[in-house]
């Protein structure tokens, strides 16, 4: 036998409690003290529909009378359950017709939306191939035109002025002019890396739409800009003695 | 083939009806024989396009991916928006491609390089002046290294702005940050190897900073330098880190990274 979804079982239980029918597995807290449904309850099946479903043989003219009778009693559900319904009645007073008036939205539980997919070959591999070829061509041409720096052999007795770290660490070297080395060289990058790792755990916003995450985007952009500006200053605006210079005034003191 | 044979027969009299076949037909017959041989069928798996040829069908499109060790890093199908260049800008893939280029050019450079203070700089000089393509390959290695740092950094920014680190991809983001750190370390350890003034003093600045690590700073510096100051021992240490240990570690993390991309449901989005 197939598994009946839990939410359907729950709805069935609630409905049975509302109708005053015996609930299999015992009534739960909500079902036990279910208030008698009134005719105005939107979830309640209209009494005249119930009456019609349980006595299909009767003439249409008797339906309004049944509806009036249902509305007059304080517990409409009880009235329907005790009404004689000899035709098309299943076990425990259930008829199949009752199912047809349950709202569609509560029965259909769509878990997976179908996704629009394409074959990796050729759609993705073509793009990857073109990107790799473009990158190879760029690298080959650039390398043929621009030589990697090779300065004089390492000499402990001659310190170049300025001596700079690789460009991606120049932001740190820039911080070194403002803070104690333990702060600039260890604490700040350590905290930075750690904060980056914690990003998915500290950002609890479930949305990935840009308009919903203005704060996260602003914060990251500020962080990246801050870092970029420090690196650019370190690369181009620092001259002998690591003092501030302008590249157009004193030239560039920077090797990649 | 039959068509051509007929034309030959009518045209220049080669097809005289005594089993005299055109070169093209003989070639195709040889091809048929090769493709049905045991050696061929043992190499190419059932469904391979090298067995029956390629015709464009959904089945063959799947076989292209499934029958290739490299391509089967990909799933057979991906979400339509994931193949848009404007979504990923190819940054993750290009980082990986640059890593492959760096591995290949790096292996070439290793043939001509000895990591000792006395020889390193001269080896680079000789590589540039006397080795065929030596200068070009060294340039490619250096520029690709800088590009990889940039592309990994941009890839991280792209992933952040798309919110692609959110559940279920949190762990892969952490792996990605580790990969960024490893990329920086790989680049920094390679920086020392030419053993020129640039590398010596850049590394001096860098290791002096690490010497300020709280509590065990001097020990960290000593381990990194292999002594009290930068010398041959440092060069050997950083060489091994650069060509063996760090690549080994980064490949493991890359494997996890790629695997998790698929396990977490492919690319994120669309926004």
Q: What is the mean pLDDT of residues B65-89?
A: 90
pLDDT of A45-74, one tens digit each?
A: 777 777 776 665 544 444 444 444 444 444
Q: What is the mean pLDDT of residues B104-116?
A: 96
Choose the mutation target among B76, B144, B163, B204 for the interface with A, i.e. most A CBs under 10 Å.
B163
Tell me how many degrees the CA angle A24-A28-A32 measures, rounded to the nearest 5. Answer: 95
Taking Cα atoms as reference points, which of B196, B120, B242 lies closest to residue A148?
A: B196
pLDDT band at A91 (very low <50, low <70, confident <90, very high): low
The ipTM is 0.87
pLDDT of residue A27: 47
How many Å separate Cα A132 from the centre of its chain?
32
pLDDT band at A31 (very low <50, low <70, confident <90, very high): very low
pLDDT of residue B196: 94
Given an 8 Å threshold on Cβ–Cβ distance, is A122 in contact with B143? no
Distance from CA of A75 to the nearest CA of B (A): 48
Q: What is the mean pLDDT of residues B186-196?
A: 95
- pLDDT, mean over chain B: 89
DSSP string, B30-68: HHHHHHTSHHHHHHSPTT-HHHH-----HHHHHHHHHT-
pLDDT of B34-59, one tens digit each?
A: 988 999 999 988 888 888 888 888 88
Instruction: Decide if B70 contacts A120 (C-beta within 8 A).
Output: no
What tokens appear for B51 in the block? Answer: 């067995």
Rounded Cα distance between B171 and B155, Å, is 16
- Confirm or reject contact between A219 and chain B (CB < 8 A): no
Does residue A105 surpass a pLDDT of 50?
Answer: yes
- Give the residue on A whose Cα is nearest the Cα of B214: A182
Q: What is the mean pLDDT of residues A85-110?
A: 61
Does residue A120 surpass a pLDDT of 50?
Answer: yes
pLDDT band at B30 (very low <50, low <70, confident <90, very high): very high
Rounded Cα distance between A189 and B243, Å, is 25
Cβ contacts of A185 within 8 Å, gap of 6 or more: A172, A175, A176, B208, B209, B210, B212
Taking Cα atoms as reference points, which of B244, B121, B248, B250 lies closest to residue B184?
A: B250
Rounded Cα distance between B262 and B75, Å, is 8
Burial of residue B158, with CB atoms counted within 10 A of its CB: 0-12 exposed, 13-18 middle, 19 or more buried = middle
Percent of chain A scoring above 90 in pLDDT: 36
Instruction: Mark A10-45 as b/e (b = at least 16 C-beta within 10 Å).
Output: eebbbbbbbbbbebeeebeeebeebeebeeeeeebb
Q: What are the φ and ψ backbone dihedral angles of A27, each rounded to 5 degrees? A: -70, 140
pLDDT of A160-194, one tens digit each?
A: 888 898 999 999 889 988 998 888 888 899 999 99
Residues 89-128 on A with a CB inside 8 Å of B are 115-125, 127-128
Distance from CA of B239 to the nearest CA of A (A): 16
Distance from CA of B34 to the nearest CA of A (A): 27
The larger pLDDT score, comparing residue B251 to residue B2, is at B251
pLDDT of residue A251: 84
Q: What are the φ and ψ backbone dihedral angles of A130, each rounded to 5 degrees? A: -60, -40
Rounded Cα distance between A149 and B196, Å, is 9
Looking at the DSSP bridge assignments, the partners of residue A153 are: B196
- Confirm or reject contact between A211 and chain B (CB < 8 A): no
């Amino acid at each position: 036998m197939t598994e009946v979804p839990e939410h359907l079982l729950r709805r069935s239980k609630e409905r049975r409690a509302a109708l005053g029918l015996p609930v299999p597995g015992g009534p739960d807290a909500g079902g036990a003290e279910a208030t008698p449904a009134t005719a105005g309850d939107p979830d309640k099946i209209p009494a005249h529909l119930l009456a019609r479903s349980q006595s299909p043989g009767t003439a249409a003219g008797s339906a309004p009378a049944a509806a009036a009778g249902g509305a007059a009693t304080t517990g409409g559900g009880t009235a329907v359950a005790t009404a004689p319904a000899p035709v098309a009645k299943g076990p425990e007073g259930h008829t199949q017709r009752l199912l047809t008036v349950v709202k569609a939205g509560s029965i259909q539980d769509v878990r997976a939306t179908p996704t629009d997919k394409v074959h990796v070959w050729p759609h993705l591999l073509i793009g990857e191939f073109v990107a790799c070829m473009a990158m190879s061509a760029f690298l080959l041409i650039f390398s043929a035109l621009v030589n990697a720096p090779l300065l004089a052999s390492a000499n402990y007795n001659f310190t170049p002025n300025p001596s700079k770290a690789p460009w991606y660490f120049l932001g740190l070297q820039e911080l070194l002019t403002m803070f104690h080395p333990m702060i600039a060289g260890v604490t700040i990058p350590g905290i930075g890396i750690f904060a980056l790792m914690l990003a998915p755990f500290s950002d609890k916003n479930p949305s990935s739409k840009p308009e919903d995450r203005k704060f996260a985007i602003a914060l990251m952009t500020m962080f990246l800009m801050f870092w970029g500006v420090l690196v650019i200053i370190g690369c181009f605006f620092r001259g002998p003695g690591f003092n501030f210079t302008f590249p157009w005034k004193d030239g560039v003191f920077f090797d990649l | 083939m039959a068509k051509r044979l007929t034309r030959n027969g009518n045209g220049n009299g080669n097809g005289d009806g005594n089993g005299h076949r055109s070169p093209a037909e003989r070639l195709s017959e040889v091809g048929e024989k090769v493709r049905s041989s045991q050696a061929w069928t043992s190499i190419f798996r059932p469904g391979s396009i090298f067995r029956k040829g390629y015709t464009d069908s959904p089945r063959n499109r799947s076989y292209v991916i499934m029958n290739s060790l490299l391509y089967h890093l990909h799933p057979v199908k991906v979400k339509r928006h994931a193949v848009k260049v404007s979504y990923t800008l190819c940054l993750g893939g290009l980082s990986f491609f640059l890593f492959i280029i760096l591995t290949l050019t790096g292996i070439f450079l290793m043939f001509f390089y000895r990591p000792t203070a006395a020889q390193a700089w001269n080896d680079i000089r000789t590589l540039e002046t006397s080795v065929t393509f030596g200068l070009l390959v060294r340039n490619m290695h250096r520029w690709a290294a800088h590009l990889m740092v940039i592309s990994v950094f941009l890839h991280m920014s792209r992933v952040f702005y798309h919110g692609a680190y959110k559940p279920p991809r949190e762990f892969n983001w952490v792996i990605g940050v580790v990969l960024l750190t490893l990329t920086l370390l790989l680049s920094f350890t390679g920086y020392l190897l030419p053993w020129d003034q640039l590398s010596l003093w850049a590394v001096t600045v860098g290791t002096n900073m690490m010497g300020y690590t709280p509590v065990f700073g001097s020990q960290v510096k000593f381990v990194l330098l292999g002594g009290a100051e930068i010398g041959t021992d440092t060069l050997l240490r950083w060489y091994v880190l650069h060509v063996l240990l760090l690549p080994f570690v980064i490949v493991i993390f890359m494997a996890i990274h790629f695997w998790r991309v698929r396990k977490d449901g492919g690319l994120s989005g669309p926004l």
